[in-house]
Structure 1
Amino acid sequence: MRYDKQHKTAIRQRILDMATMRFRSEGIAAVGIANLMADLGLTHGGFYWHFKDKEDLVAQACRQAMEHTSQQWQHQIQQAETGQQRLAVAQHYLSIQHRDFPDTGCVAAALAGELSRHTAPARQAFTAGLQQQLDTLGQAAVQDGSVATSPFTPAVQLSLMVGALLLSRAVTDGELSARLLQEAEAMIAHYSPLSGT
């Protein structure tokens, strides 16, 4: 049976969506192509109509997830009060909900360690996505007026947020987990334009 281009595009997107979610929640190495396709009710061989190999899927999933995170940040920035753009991103990112649902969250916090051992295409997709996130934080700093006064460059803020989220997911002490998120947010808030600092 022959399928039209629209059907093929829809199937490819289903594979990509499922892979993106499972990579973040289970890790890249834990997700096999045969298992992924079976969960979607598709054949293993059908995978290769859509992606060259698993590394191609990893790169595309990483690109999609990073773009989604940047879009979420843009939304937070647009909804933020004047002078609170960067803080709004931090509050969204450093939330208990984000901590507890890695399958829909930030790729950097979920997969950076694994991606460092992958091939160039996957790492290039991650690099491009990370640069987009830094650009988004840079735009927020211009909008909220913190670009000239805050020691929190976009790279510092992103590193602080990713590190705090990663550690908060790894520890077994719930109080410590919450404190890691709260103190990272408080540090970013301290240098926001409306803090008076």
Structure 2
Amino acid sequence: MPRVSRKQADLNREIIVEAATRLFRERGLHGISVVDVMAAAGLTHGGFYGHFESKEALAREAGGRAFEQSAERWKTRIAEHDDKNQARRSLIEPYLSAASRDNPGDSCPVVAFAGDMCHEAADSDLRQTFLDGLNRLLQTYGSLIDAGDAEQNRRQALVDYSLMVGALTLARATRGDALSDEILEAARTFLTKETPSQNP
């Protein structure tokens, strides 16, 4: 069997990472197998270990990719607005939408991975990837808040983002019931009805 060229090997690796990024978002970091990933990538199972030493190594890279994609999406949306409050709304409204709820493969990696992180060792590389990604998103969101000072901005960002993650998680858990849409609407309304500086 002829050897795969370096260019093709690099392309195959990229295909694997992209397939894993989507699957991990859909099912969680521990909800899929190497066989699942390679099938989604359209490649044979046996080729996996030519690219990654373990499923955990792939999970770290795919998890990092998922956070990069979310950060870039947020950056693009923010750049479309001069007003911070409008920019903030441009993050909240798509996040707390039916499309976000119904398409986890393209949605928030925090919601996708948080449950798995509860079972990770405190010093694991995978947990560090999660923490780095989460902090990056929190910093981006916090940059749109004018609540008084840096500490207040950080606290408001933590509260808002925790509400967003919790609401999206519950909306997915109740999908198919009217409660799911109620949760999304209530969270959206609460977060967008007033600017952070007006919140008590």
What TM-score do the two structures reach when normalised by structure 1? 0.86
**Equivalent residue, structure 1, for 2:29:** 28
2:159 corresponds to 1:135: no
Unpaired runs of 5+ residues, structure 1, are none
Kept in 1, the 8 Å contact 2:25–2:105? The answer is yes
**Equivalent residue, structure 1, for 2:17:** 16
Count of aligned pairs: 193
SS in 1 for 2:42: coil
Q: Which stretch of structure 1 is more off in the superposition, 17-26 or 58-67? A: 17-26
**CA separation of 1:4 and 1:20: change in aligned 2, threshold 3 A:** same
**Equivalent residue, structure 2, for 1:148:** 148
Unpaired runs of 5+ residues, structure 2, are none
What TM-score do the two structures reach when normalised by structure 2? 0.85
**Equivalent residue, structure 2, for 1:105:** 107
**CA separation of 1:157 and 1:37: change in aligned 2, threshold 3 A:** same
Kept in 1, the 8 Å contact 2:147–2:196? The answer is no
**Equivalent residue, structure 1, for 2:51:** 50
In structure 1, what is the Cα distance between the partners aligned to 2:136 and 2:114? 16
**Equivalent residue, structure 2, for 1:66:** 67
In structure 2, what is the Cα distance between the partners aligned to 1:185 and 1:140? 17
**CA separation of 1:56 and 1:22: change in aligned 2, threshold 3 A:** same
2:184 corresponds to 1:181: yes
Aligned-residue offset at 1:42: 2.2
Aligned-residue offset at 1:196: 10
| RMSD (CA atoms) | 2.4
